[in-house]
């Protein structure tokens, strides 16, 4: 039996909140406009204005966040007695050039690109809001829904803490979101209960010493060797000081020291990221990393300074909300349109919302079925199969409707 026949037999068409062809075409055009005009974190003024104008055209009353970009918009009447159901999108782009060819919606802004799919996230939440607003006018919305369009996801520690400070979670009982996945076909979502992303922090280390001649390293502090040993031995030390299941790992992205082959430098720098798979390991990481670096630096008589910059905790999907997403996708497209997904080592500031309310994030497939080209996020050639927009909209509307049904 084909997936379409399976869906027909279950009668999923009876669930309202599907996307009309006219709105689908409008949303694709909206997404392409965002893609052509990417804006970096906390600079999303054009994006915010476009969202605000479209929501107001639908008779809604969006509010710009206190930080100046991003929006929050409620649908339905919230009397304070029943929790709001929240749907979140991130709206910022990346500081990299768009290298796609052959598409009319390539970025028009030099060295800026929607290379992580946030334009798709934004468009799906907008579309869900427009559909749910129409259902509300028809008296078919069983619970109030809040749309959150959050800025600065790509800027550690993310824009979520500022959005929360602006009150976006006030009265919220559950929250859901999606993230594009170029490894999953359009039409399919990936789900995972528990941790689905990694914690991600930034680490900067400076080393100082008197310097000297490479002929006499014993008379000075050999910072090059000290930096090299920190780069290799600190990760090894951490592997023996934290539960291996936490997956605590440092990956260095930059090491810099010296200018001449026969001069031991007076200064060295290392920087990288710290990633962790669970919350206990993430919370312990700063003290463990500091101690390990200080030990190696002291062994080499180097003066060390560590700047540990907190990023984001892991996204830990609530099992109940994950099942809600499963039910929603099954109702729309059948169980064949769901696959299990692995935990990613990427960071996502959706995690900050889950420190306050239960929620879950799904992987939204954006790969064209049959395409064997390897694509990844944060690359200038990233693109999404726009059929994913309809999938995301209908996933969100189904989740809001099913969650609002009487227990």
Q: pLDDT by residue (tens digit) across 366-377?
A: 999 998 888 899
Of 29-33, 221-225, 242-246, 340-344, which range is least confident?
242-246
Task: Give 70-139 as a DSSP string.
Answer: -EEEEES---SSSPEEEEEEE---BSS-----S-TT---STT-B--SSHHHHHHHHHHHHHHHHHHHHTT
The residue-averaged pLDDT of 232-248 equals: 90
123 — pLDDT class (breaks 50, 70, 90):
very high
Predicted pLDDT at 377? 94
Q: What is the pLDDT of residues 299-310, one digit of tens each?
A: 999 999 999 999
Burial of 404 (0-12, 13-18, 19+ CB in 10 A): middle
Q: How many CB atoms lie within 10 A of CB 96?
A: 17
What lies within 8 Å, CB to CB, of 60 at 6+ separation is: 73, 74, 75, 129, 133
| pLDDT more than 90, % of the chain | 89
Coil, helix or strand at residue 195: strand
Per-residue pLDDT for 6 more than 70?
no
* Relative orientation angle of helices 279-299 and 223-239, to the nearest 10 degrees: 150
Q: How far apart are CA 71 and CA 48, in angstroms?
A: 7
Per-residue pLDDT for 147 more than 60?
yes
Predicted pLDDT at 374? 81
The residue-averaged pLDDT of 8-14 equals: 45
Per-residue pLDDT for 135 more than 50?
yes
Cis peptide before 157 (omega within 30 of 0): yes
Predicted pLDDT at 79? 82
Q: How far apart are CA 350 and CA 64, in angstroms?
A: 19
Predicted pLDDT at 7? 43
Model confidence, pTM: 0.91
Q: Which residue has the higher pLDDT, 77 or 289?
A: 289
The residue-averaged pLDDT of 115-144 equals: 97
The residue-averaged pLDDT of 57-82 equals: 94
Q: How far apart are CA 370 and CA 373, in angstroms?
A: 9
Predicted pLDDT at 141? 96
Q: What is the pLDDT of residues 22-66, one digit of tens each?
A: 999 999 999 999 999 999 999 999 999 999 999 999 999 999 999
Number of helices (H), then strands (E), in the chain: 10, 16
Q: What is the pLDDT of residues 274-284, one digit of tens each?
A: 999 999 999 99
Question: Is the CB of residue 366 less than 8 Å from the CB of residue 117?
Answer: yes
The residue-averaged pLDDT of 224-229 equals: 96
Predicted pLDDT at 202? 95
Per-residue pLDDT for 4 more than 50?
no
User: Which residue blocks in 138-188 are alpha helix, DSSP H?
Assistant: 160-165
Q: How far apart are CA 143 and CA 75, in angstroms?
A: 9
Average predicted confidence (pLDDT) for the chain: 94
Q: How far apart are CA 52 and CA 356, in angstroms?
A: 26
Predicted pLDDT at 245? 86
Per-residue pLDDT for 201 more than 80?
yes
The residue-averaged pLDDT of 180-190 equals: 97
The residue-averaged pLDDT of 281-289 equals: 94
What lies within 8 Å, CB to CB, of 161 at 6+ separation is: 349, 352
DSSP percent split of the chain into helix, strand, coil, nearest 5: 35, 25, 40
Q: What is the pLDDT of residues 314-347, one digit of tens each?
A: 999 999 999 999 999 999 999 999 999 999 989 9
Predicted pLDDT at 64? 98
Phi and psi (nearest 5°) for 269? Answer: -135, 145
């Amino acid at each position: 039996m084909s997936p379409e026949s399976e869906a027909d037999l279950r009668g999923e068409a009876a669930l309202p909140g599907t996307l009309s062809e006219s709105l689908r075409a409008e949303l694709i055009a909206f997404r392409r406009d965002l893609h052509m005009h990417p804006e970096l974190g906390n600079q999303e003024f054009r994006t915010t204005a476009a969202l605000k104008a479209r929501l107001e055209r639908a008779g809604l009353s969006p509010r710009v966040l206190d930080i100046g970009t991003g929006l929050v918009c409620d649908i339905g009447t919230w009397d304070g007695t029943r929790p709001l159901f929240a749907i979140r999108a991130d709206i910022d782009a990346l500081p990299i050039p768009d290298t796609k060819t052959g598409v009319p919606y390539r970025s028009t802004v030099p060295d800026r690109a929607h290379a992580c799919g946030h334009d798709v996230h934004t468009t799906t939440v907008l579309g869900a809001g427009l559909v749910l607003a129409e259902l509300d006018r028809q008296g078919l919305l069983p619970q109030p829904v809040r749309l959150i369009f959050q800025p600065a996801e790509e800027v550690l520690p993310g824009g979520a803490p500022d959005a929360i400070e602006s009150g976006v979670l006030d009265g919220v009982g559950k929250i859901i979101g999606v993230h594009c996945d170029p490894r999953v076909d359009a039409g399919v979502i990936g789900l995972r209960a528990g941790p689905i992303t990694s914690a991600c922090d930034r680490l900067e280390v400076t080393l100082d010493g008197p310097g000297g001649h490479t002929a006499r390293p014993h008379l000075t502090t050999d910072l090059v060797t000290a930096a090299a040993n920190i780069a290799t031995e600190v990760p090894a030390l951490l592997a023996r000081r934290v539960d291996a299941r936490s997956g605590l790992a440092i990956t260095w992205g930059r090491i810099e020291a010296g200018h001449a082959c026969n001069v031991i430098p007076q200064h060295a720098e290392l920087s990288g990221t710290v990633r962790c798979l669970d919350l206990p390991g993430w919370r312990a990481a700063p003290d463990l990393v500091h101690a390990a670096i200080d030990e190696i630096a002291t062994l080499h008589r180097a003066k060390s300074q560590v700047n540990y910059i907190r990023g984001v905790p892991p996204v830990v999907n609530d099992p109940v909300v994950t099942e809600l997403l499963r039910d929603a996708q099954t109702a729309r497209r059948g169980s064949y349109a769901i696959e299990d997904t692995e935990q990613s080592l990427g960071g996502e500031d959706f995690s900050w919302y889950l420190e306050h309310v239960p929620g879950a994030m799904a992987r939204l497939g954006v790969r064209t079925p049959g395409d064997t080209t390897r694509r990844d996020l944060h690359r200038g050639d990233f693109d999404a199969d726009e059929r994913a927009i309809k999938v995301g909209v209908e996933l969100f509307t189904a989740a809001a409707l099913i969650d609002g049904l009487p227990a």
